[in-house]
Amino acid sequence: MNVLHVVGARPNFMKVAPVLAALQRHKNIAQILVHTGQHYDVSMSDIFFEQLGIPAPDVNLAVGSGSHARQTADIMVRLEPVLLERKPDIVLVYGDVNSTVATALACAKLGIRVGHVEAGLRSFDRTMPEEINRLVTDQLADLLFTPSEDGDRNLLREGIAADKIFRVGNVMIDSLVRLLPTARARKLADLPDRYALVTLHRPANVDDCAILRGILESLLEVSRDLNVIFPSHPRTRHRIADFGLDPGQLRLLDPLPYIDFLALQIRATAVITDSGGIQEETTYLGIPCLTMRENTERPITISMGTNVLVGRDREKLRSELANILRGNARKGSIPPLWDGRTGERIAEIIVQQER
């Protein structure tokens, strides 16, 4: 059985690693790894492959940046001959990036089966490009691997047949569990005793000068009570520079490799983010998370975990942070099947398809 994996952006890398490793234990499975090059910066890509133990890609499409339409189209055009040459029995796609939806579309046109890892997540906000990617991919996928019960419900409501849906847990937690001891052992120099760890990258937060200025001002208010460490996505760093904004005493860092970022995360007093994956990681780790979005496609991180949506409301950010500093942070629990064995469950389901 030939399984082809397609990844393109940093969140995909944490998800593909456990599935690659689990399928490698099955002798009848041949695997092909395609990197679309959607994230092309070395610090956002190559180092992640090395730390996560992912083999070098068999194919790199090298699409680079571009508008959503151009990037999606370029991936489809460059991927199609790879699919025709390699003839996979099934293609696995991950998460909600442009590489995911482009691959699902290309495979559907060629009659190749698709498995979507992290299916069923919904923010119900179609202004988010990721939401469009999720909706389209799930309609085209043949096997839908969901991380939690809400994903199952969303898919059933959208008319997906129940026998296509497999609740397997959160595969990204597999990578976290495996590398957590290494992150705990990582020595970090010049680290304050208490700090807020910040990540921001979503266009809705960083592409508008007035909005980004307001967020930075909110973070500067936070820094009066708590040191702020801010590993900056290249998009965010460029916007800060382009808009001529002053980050003041915020400690901006270059993007960090996975283990280094995890080492910062596990020691943080609080995490302030607009990332979906970090909402999940903080829930598993029991670290307070304040999400600067009005919605989330991961509601289980709110209902069971440590996540609180604060949007761009300065007062809410201030009051929730005050609760954390007083020791009154939300006490969460780990959702079912977030146990570090999701990759194994996905691999077993794929192997069963051949029987």
> What pTM value is reported for the model?
0.95
Rounded distance between C-alpha atoms, residue 262 and residue 253, angstroms: 14
Rounded distance between C-alpha atoms, residue 269 and residue 194, angstroms: 6
Mean pLDDT for all residues in the chain: 95
CB 69 within 8 A of CB 77: no
Q: What angle do CA 330, 335, 341 make, to 5 degrees?
A: 140
Does the annotation mark 201 as catalytic? yes
H or E stretch at 133: helix 129-140
H or E stretch at 108: helix 98-110
Rounded distance between C-alpha atoms, residue 140 and residue 113, angstroms: 9
Structure tokens at 278: 């970090």
Percentage of the chain modeled with pLDDT above 90: 88
- Catalytic position from the list 5, 35, 201, 238: 201
Stretch 40-53: mean pLDDT, rounded? Answer: 76
3-state secondary structure of 125: coil
Rounded distance between C-alpha atoms, residue 157 and residue 187, angstroms: 47
CA 40 to chain centre: 16
- List pLDDT tens digits, range 97-106: 999 999 999 9
* Cα dihedral: 182, 188, 192, 198 (round 10): -70
Q: How many CB atoms lie within 10 A of CB 125?
A: 14
β-partners of residue 222 are none
CB 273 within 8 A of CB 292: yes
242 contacts: CB under 8 Å, gap ≥ 6: none
**For residue 233, what pLDDT band results from cuts at 50, 70 and 90?**
confident
User: At residue 324, does pLDDT exceed 70?
Assistant: yes
List domains and CATH numbers for the chain: 2-169+338-354 (3.40.50.2000), 181-325 (3.40.50.2000)
- List pLDDT tens digits, range 119-152: 999 999 999 999 999 999 999 999 999 999 999 9
User: At residue 187, does pLDDT exceed 80?
Assistant: yes
